[in-house]
Every structure is written in structure tokens, then in C-alpha cells.
Amino acid sequence: MTVPISVRRLPHGADLPLPAYATDGAAGMDLLAAVTDPVTLAPGARVLIPTGLAVALPPGYELQIRPRSGLALRHGIVLANSPGTIDEDYRGEIQVIVMNAGDAAFTVTRGTRIAQAVLAPVSRAAWHEVSSLDTTARGAGGFGSTGGLG
């Protein structure tokens, strides 16, 4: 299923390609860094990277901003609030909070594939307060209670 998304290129991202799926089976579209000058992240540093894009999502959808596995594995580049959420009513620039969890500096240049965006449907919760919950085999066990620490 294809869902149309209205997108506006901002002036500092005008020459960059729009997000695209790398393969027919890809779930995420690469987001590119719309930095004007290279940005170097020291180990442990975090920075907000612009994409030069603003969107209008259709009702009932969010855009999840996720890390790229290759950057995480090879350089320790992760997203500080992963996954980030672009709500359907947000009209500002999509920006990515990038963090260097690696042991060497990493430089983001213009057009670096910095994150991926996944379009996802949103279900809204309706809380129903009760005095007790049904019983399960797990109960209130958590943090490794189902058979190990990993």
C-alpha cells in the first residue's frame, strides 16, 4: 500500500534527494543530513542534524525516525531518542538527534544517510481504569523474570 505524504523542501535542503527506499522490500527510507558545513561528533557527543524537510502526514500515521544499522555497527552512531516520532500534526523541520556512542570522532557531511524514516499507522488508546487486572503466569515479573538476563 502506498500512502501519499506532502513534503516541503526547505532552502538548506533544496539540492538533496527526497527520502527513498533503497530496495523494493525496505521498510525505511534514508534521511539525508542537510548540514551546510561538516559536523564532527566526538565520542559521547550528541547533535541535532537537520534534514531540510518538513512534512504533512495523513491522519492516523506517524513517521518513526530510526538509526541506521551500518552506522551503529561501524561507528557507534545512534539516535538519542530512538525511535523518534514525527506526529501527524507537526509541520516543522524533521531533525535527528545523533549521538556518538563509539570510540572515535565521526563527521557528518552534507548528504550523509544519517537515519531512516518508517511510516507507521497509529492506534489511539482509551484508558479504562479498573480496580484489579486479570491474572497471568508471568504476573508482575519483569527485568529477566522470564528465564534469564539476556
**Each residue's pLDDT expressed in tens, for the chain with a length of 150 residues:** 899 999 999 999 999 999 999 999 999 999 999 999 999 999 999 999 999 999 999 999 999 999 999 999 999 999 999 999 999 999 999 999 999 999 999 999 999 999 999 999 999 999 999 999 999 988 888 877 666 655
How high is the pLDDT of residue 72?
A: 94
How high is the pLDDT of residue 150?
A: 56
**What type of residue sits at position 70?**
G
How high is the pLDDT of residue 86?
A: 98
3-state DSSP assignment of residue 123? coil
3-state DSSP assignment of residue 13? helix
User: CA-to-CA distance for 88 and 136, rounded, in angstroms?
Assistant: 36
Q: Report the CATH fold assignment for 6-121.
A: Deoxyuridine 5'-Triphosphate Nucleotidohydrolase; Chain A (2.70.40)
Q: What is the helix (H) or strand (E) element at residue 71, kind and residue range?
A: helix 69-75
Enumerate residues 6+ apart whose C-beta is below 8 A from 107. Answer: 38, 39, 40, 41
How high is the pLDDT of residue 2?
A: 92
Kindly list the domain boundaries of the chain, sorted by start residue: 6-121
Q: Residue 85, Cα to own-chain centre: how many angstroms?
A: 7
**Residue closest to 53 by CA, chosen among 94, 100, 96, 25:** 94
Cis ω before 83 (30° cut-off from 0): yes
How high is the pLDDT of residue 143?
A: 78
Q: What is the helix (H) or strand (E) element at residue 75, kind and residue range?
A: helix 69-75
Residue found under cell 535527528: 96
